[in-house]
Amino acid sequence: MKLKLEISPDLAALMQAEIAAGEKAVTSAMREAGAGLKSAWRGQITGAGLGTRLGNSIRLATYPKGGESLNAAALVWSNAPVIVGAHDTGPLIRSRNGFWLALPTAAAGKSTRGGRITPGEWERRTGLQLRFIY
């Protein structure tokens, strides 16, 4: 008795095609997920009013750089992690000596020297006393 088994489509070629399709799917999924995360993070930064320049510090790298792989990865990071982290954690802001903190607004105007105006200079210019709020 003779038994002959023949697989008409080549099994090795079929498996190779499935592996190639899997590599393409994983790599494209990682690129799409990385791009989505980057754009969402940038949108949160600009939406919080921190400006587009800080939003543009968010970067994306996908690996492998060229080609496709089943082990593809995406890395999203910030070029300004200290600034982004400070807005994320909300650090305590204090004055130099820890007593009063004066925040000049646009309505206060500029200093005669061209920089930010000091509380003392503002009082001298306007003749009004500042009131301190605890």
pLDDT confidence of residue 112: 78
**pLDDT exceeds 90 at position 127:** no
pLDDT confidence of residue 70: 94
**Residue 94 has what DSSP assignment?**
-
Provide Rg for the chain, Cα atoms.
30
Q: Tens digit of pLDDT for each residue in 76-85?
A: 999 998 888 8
Q: How far apart are CA 132 and CA 125, in angstroms?
A: 18
**pLDDT exceeds 80 at position 96:** no
Q: Tens digit of pLDDT for each residue in 7-55?
A: 777 878 888 999 999 999 999 999 999 999 999 999 999 998 888 999 9
Q: How far apart are CA 30 and CA 61, in angstroms?
A: 10
Mean pLDDT of 88-113: 75
Q: How far apart are CA 100 and CA 116, in angstroms?
A: 17
**pLDDT exceeds 90 at position 117:** no
Q: For residue 107, give Cα distances in angstroms to 1, 75, 81, 103, 133.
A: 101, 43, 31, 11, 18
| Domain extent listing, the chain | 7-91, 94-133
